[in-house]
Amino acid sequence: MSEPIIAVERVTKQVQDSTGTLTILHEIDFTLQARQSAAIVGASGSGKSTLLSIIAGLDTPSSGTVRIAGNDLFALDEDARAALRAQKLGFVFQSFQLLANLTALENVMLPLELQGRRDARALATEMLGRVGLGERLRHYPKVLSGGEQQRVALARAFVVQPAVLLADEPTGSLDFATGERVMELMFELNREAGTTLVLVTHDRGIAARCDRQLRIEAGRLDLGAMAM
Protein backbone atom coordinates (compact mmCIF):
# COMPACT_ATOMS: atom_id res chain seq x y z
CA MET A 1 0.00 0.00 0.00
CA SER A 2 1.22 3.51 -0.82
CA GLU A 3 2.21 6.04 1.83
CA PRO A 4 -0.88 7.54 3.49
CA ILE A 5 -1.76 11.12 2.59
CA ILE A 6 -2.61 11.76 6.27
CA ALA A 7 -0.95 10.00 9.21
CA VAL A 8 -2.00 11.05 12.71
CA GLU A 9 0.51 9.54 15.12
CA ARG A 10 -0.28 9.29 18.85
CA VAL A 11 -1.60 12.86 19.01
CA THR A 12 -2.33 14.12 22.52
CA LYS A 13 -3.53 17.62 23.37
CA GLN A 14 -3.53 18.90 26.93
CA VAL A 15 -4.29 22.36 28.33
CA GLN A 16 -4.09 23.86 31.78
CA ASP A 17 -7.17 25.20 33.50
CA SER A 18 -8.09 26.17 37.05
CA THR A 19 -8.48 22.50 38.05
CA GLY A 20 -5.15 21.38 36.60
CA THR A 21 -4.39 19.52 33.37
CA LEU A 22 -7.27 18.89 30.96
CA THR A 23 -6.69 16.24 28.28
CA ILE A 24 -8.65 17.17 25.15
CA LEU A 25 -7.19 14.42 22.93
CA HIS A 26 -5.45 11.24 24.08
CA GLU A 27 -3.08 9.38 21.74
CA ILE A 28 -5.17 9.63 18.56
CA ASP A 29 -3.73 7.34 15.90
CA PHE A 30 -5.03 6.73 12.35
CA THR A 31 -4.10 7.03 8.67
CA LEU A 32 -5.99 7.95 5.51
CA GLN A 33 -5.04 7.09 1.96
CA ALA A 34 -5.37 9.46 -0.97
CA ARG A 35 -8.97 9.87 -2.19
CA GLN A 36 -10.48 8.47 1.01
CA SER A 37 -13.15 10.39 2.90
CA ALA A 38 -13.55 10.35 6.66
CA ALA A 39 -16.07 11.87 9.04
CA ILE A 40 -14.94 12.82 12.54
CA VAL A 41 -17.99 12.38 14.75
CA GLY A 42 -18.76 12.58 18.46
CA ALA A 43 -20.54 14.66 21.06
CA SER A 44 -19.96 18.38 21.46
CA GLY A 45 -16.76 18.99 23.39
CA SER A 46 -15.28 15.59 22.51
CA GLY A 47 -12.28 17.15 20.71
CA LYS A 48 -13.38 16.88 17.07
CA SER A 49 -12.58 20.44 16.00
CA THR A 50 -9.34 20.41 17.98
CA LEU A 51 -8.26 17.30 16.08
CA LEU A 52 -9.12 18.93 12.75
CA SER A 53 -7.11 22.03 13.70
CA ILE A 54 -4.10 19.86 14.57
CA ILE A 55 -4.39 17.98 11.26
CA ALA A 56 -4.30 21.38 9.57
CA GLY A 57 -1.27 22.48 11.56
CA LEU A 58 -3.25 25.42 12.95
CA ASP A 59 -2.96 24.04 16.48
CA THR A 60 -0.06 22.09 17.95
CA PRO A 61 -0.31 18.83 19.89
CA SER A 62 1.22 18.35 23.33
CA SER A 63 2.78 15.18 21.94
CA GLY A 64 2.59 13.11 18.78
CA THR A 65 2.61 14.44 15.25
CA VAL A 66 0.76 14.62 11.93
CA ARG A 67 2.25 13.79 8.55
CA ILE A 68 0.72 15.25 5.39
CA ALA A 69 1.99 13.53 2.25
CA GLY A 70 5.01 12.38 4.24
CA ASN A 71 5.77 15.83 5.70
CA ASP A 72 6.00 15.97 9.49
CA LEU A 73 3.96 19.11 10.22
CA PHE A 74 5.46 19.80 13.61
CA ALA A 75 9.05 19.36 12.48
CA LEU A 76 8.43 22.44 10.31
CA ASP A 77 8.53 26.06 11.45
CA GLU A 78 5.44 28.30 11.12
CA ASP A 79 6.41 29.62 7.68
CA ALA A 80 7.03 26.14 6.30
CA ARG A 81 3.73 24.87 7.76
CA ALA A 82 1.90 27.79 6.16
CA ALA A 83 3.55 27.02 2.83
CA LEU A 84 2.53 23.35 3.09
CA ARG A 85 -1.05 24.35 3.91
CA ALA A 86 -1.16 26.61 0.87
CA GLN A 87 0.15 23.81 -1.33
CA LYS A 88 -1.70 20.78 0.01
CA LEU A 89 -4.79 21.81 2.01
CA GLY A 90 -8.18 23.37 1.38
CA PHE A 91 -10.59 24.52 4.10
CA VAL A 92 -14.35 24.91 4.46
CA PHE A 93 -15.71 26.35 7.72
CA GLN A 94 -19.15 26.53 9.31
CA SER A 95 -18.92 30.35 9.33
CA PHE A 96 -17.77 30.55 5.67
CA GLN A 97 -14.74 32.78 6.49
CA LEU A 98 -15.14 34.94 3.39
CA LEU A 99 -13.49 38.36 3.31
CA ALA A 100 -16.32 40.90 3.46
CA ASN A 101 -14.47 43.56 1.44
CA LEU A 102 -13.84 41.20 -1.50
CA THR A 103 -16.34 40.08 -4.13
CA ALA A 104 -17.12 36.40 -4.65
CA LEU A 105 -14.64 36.35 -7.54
CA GLU A 106 -11.93 38.09 -5.52
CA ASN A 107 -12.42 35.70 -2.59
CA VAL A 108 -11.88 32.71 -4.88
CA MET A 109 -8.96 34.36 -6.68
CA LEU A 110 -7.12 35.11 -3.41
CA PRO A 111 -5.46 31.70 -2.75
CA LEU A 112 -4.42 31.51 -6.40
CA GLU A 113 -2.91 34.99 -6.25
CA LEU A 114 -1.01 33.99 -3.11
CA GLN A 115 0.47 31.18 -5.19
CA GLY A 116 1.47 33.69 -7.86
CA ARG A 117 -0.90 32.25 -10.47
CA ARG A 118 -1.33 34.55 -13.46
CA ASP A 119 -4.49 32.73 -14.51
CA ALA A 120 -6.21 33.34 -11.14
CA ARG A 121 -9.15 35.29 -12.61
CA ALA A 122 -9.92 32.72 -15.28
CA LEU A 123 -9.67 29.76 -12.90
CA ALA A 124 -11.79 31.47 -10.22
CA THR A 125 -14.42 32.46 -12.78
CA GLU A 126 -14.60 28.87 -14.05
CA MET A 127 -14.89 27.43 -10.55
CA LEU A 128 -17.65 29.84 -9.52
CA GLY A 129 -19.53 28.80 -12.63
CA ARG A 130 -19.02 25.18 -11.60
CA VAL A 131 -20.75 25.82 -8.25
CA GLY A 132 -23.62 27.69 -9.91
CA LEU A 133 -22.53 31.25 -9.13
CA GLY A 134 -21.46 32.42 -12.57
CA GLU A 135 -23.92 35.32 -12.32
CA ARG A 136 -22.76 36.38 -8.85
CA LEU A 137 -19.07 37.05 -9.49
CA ARG A 138 -19.16 40.71 -8.49
CA HIS A 139 -21.42 40.31 -5.46
CA TYR A 140 -20.05 40.86 -1.96
CA PRO A 141 -20.70 38.27 0.80
CA LYS A 142 -23.23 40.49 2.59
CA VAL A 143 -25.67 40.24 -0.35
CA LEU A 144 -25.26 36.48 -0.79
CA SER A 145 -27.40 33.91 1.00
CA GLY A 146 -25.81 31.46 3.43
CA GLY A 147 -25.90 28.71 0.83
CA GLU A 148 -24.31 30.97 -1.77
CA GLN A 149 -21.57 32.01 0.65
CA GLN A 150 -20.79 28.38 1.39
CA ARG A 151 -20.63 27.64 -2.34
CA VAL A 152 -18.12 30.51 -2.70
CA ALA A 153 -16.15 28.89 0.14
CA LEU A 154 -16.26 25.53 -1.70
CA ALA A 155 -15.04 27.19 -4.89
CA ARG A 156 -12.21 28.87 -2.99
CA ALA A 157 -11.21 25.54 -1.39
CA PHE A 158 -11.26 23.47 -4.58
CA VAL A 159 -9.82 26.03 -7.00
CA VAL A 160 -6.26 25.33 -5.78
CA GLN A 161 -6.76 21.58 -6.33
CA PRO A 162 -5.74 20.60 -2.79
CA ALA A 163 -4.61 17.10 -1.92
CA VAL A 164 -6.67 17.30 1.29
CA LEU A 165 -9.90 19.15 2.06
CA LEU A 166 -10.73 19.80 5.72
CA ALA A 167 -14.31 20.81 6.54
CA ASP A 168 -15.59 21.81 10.00
CA GLU A 169 -19.39 21.47 10.29
CA PRO A 170 -19.82 22.80 6.73
CA THR A 171 -23.64 22.79 6.96
CA GLY A 172 -23.88 24.01 10.56
CA SER A 173 -25.03 27.52 9.57
CA LEU A 174 -27.46 26.38 6.87
CA ASP A 175 -31.04 25.16 6.85
CA PHE A 176 -31.58 21.48 6.08
CA ALA A 177 -32.45 21.78 2.38
CA THR A 178 -29.61 24.21 1.64
CA GLY A 179 -27.20 22.05 3.62
CA GLU A 180 -28.19 19.00 1.60
CA ARG A 181 -27.49 20.81 -1.67
CA VAL A 182 -24.14 22.12 -0.43
CA MET A 183 -23.03 18.66 0.75
CA GLU A 184 -24.07 17.07 -2.53
CA LEU A 185 -21.91 19.64 -4.31
CA MET A 186 -19.00 19.06 -1.92
CA PHE A 187 -19.01 15.30 -2.46
CA GLU A 188 -19.36 15.77 -6.23
CA LEU A 189 -16.42 18.19 -6.39
CA ASN A 190 -14.42 15.90 -4.13
CA ARG A 191 -14.96 12.90 -6.41
CA GLU A 192 -13.98 14.91 -9.48
CA ALA A 193 -10.84 16.33 -7.88
CA GLY A 194 -9.73 13.07 -6.23
CA THR A 195 -9.24 14.92 -2.96
CA THR A 196 -8.92 13.31 0.47
CA LEU A 197 -11.82 14.68 2.52
CA VAL A 198 -11.88 14.98 6.32
CA LEU A 199 -14.96 16.58 7.82
CA VAL A 200 -16.31 17.20 11.29
CA THR A 201 -20.07 16.70 11.46
CA HIS A 202 -22.95 15.98 13.81
CA ASP A 203 -25.08 14.82 10.88
CA ARG A 204 -25.28 11.02 10.74
CA GLY A 205 -26.45 11.09 7.13
CA ILE A 206 -23.40 13.08 6.05
CA ALA A 207 -21.07 10.85 8.09
CA ALA A 208 -22.57 7.73 6.51
CA ARG A 209 -21.58 8.97 3.05
CA CYS A 210 -17.89 8.92 3.97
CA ASP A 211 -15.61 5.90 3.55
CA ARG A 212 -14.74 5.93 7.26
CA GLN A 213 -16.16 7.27 10.49
CA LEU A 214 -13.75 8.26 13.26
CA ARG A 215 -15.69 8.56 16.52
CA ILE A 216 -14.10 10.64 19.27
CA GLU A 217 -15.38 10.02 22.79
CA ALA A 218 -13.95 12.04 25.68
CA GLY A 219 -10.83 12.73 23.66
CA ARG A 220 -10.19 9.12 22.66
CA LEU A 221 -10.66 7.43 19.30
CA ASP A 222 -13.30 4.71 19.62
CA LEU A 223 -11.69 1.93 17.62
CA GLY A 224 -14.85 -0.13 17.75
CA ALA A 225 -16.75 2.59 15.92
CA MET A 226 -14.24 3.02 13.08
CA ALA A 227 -15.68 1.89 9.78
CA MET A 228 -13.90 1.22 6.51
Q: What is the pLDDT of residue 19?
A: 86
Domain ranges within the chain, ordered by starting residue: 6-219
Predicted confidence (pLDDT) per residue in 157-185, tens digit:
999 999 999 999 988 888 888 888 889 99
- Using 50, 70 and 90 to split pLDDT, how confident is the model at 223? low
Torsion of the alpha carbons at 192, 194, 198 and 202, rounded to the nearest 10: 30
Q: What is the pLDDT of residue 227?
A: 46
Q: What is the pLDDT of residue 105?
A: 98
The number of helices, as runs of H, and strands, as runs of E, in the chain is 7, 10
6-219 CATH pick, 3.40.470.10, 3.40.50.300, 3.30.465.10, 3.75.10.10: 3.40.50.300
Q: Is the pLDDT of residue 1 over 90?
A: no
Q: Are 106 and 78 in contact (CB under 8 A)?
A: no
Q: What is the pLDDT of residue 94?
A: 82
Q: What is the pLDDT of residue 6?
A: 97
Provide the 10 A C-beta neighbour count for residue 92.
23
Predicted confidence (pLDDT) per residue in 80-127, tens digit:
999 999 889 999 888 888 999 999 999 999 999 988 899 999 999 999
Q: What is the pLDDT of residue 101?
A: 97
Average pLDDT (199-211) is 92
Q: What is the pLDDT of residue 126?
A: 95
Give the C-alpha separation, 112 to 185, whole Å.
21
Give the C-alpha separation, 167 to 169, whole Å.
6
Q: Is the pLDDT of residue 18 over 90?
A: no
Predicted confidence (pLDDT) per residue in 39-78, tens digit:
999 988 889 999 999 999 999 999 999 999 999 999 999 9
Considering only residues 144 and 173, tell me which one the structure prediction assigns the higher pLDDT. 144
Q: What is the pLDDT of residue 182?
A: 87
Q: Is the pLDDT of residue 225 over 70?
A: no
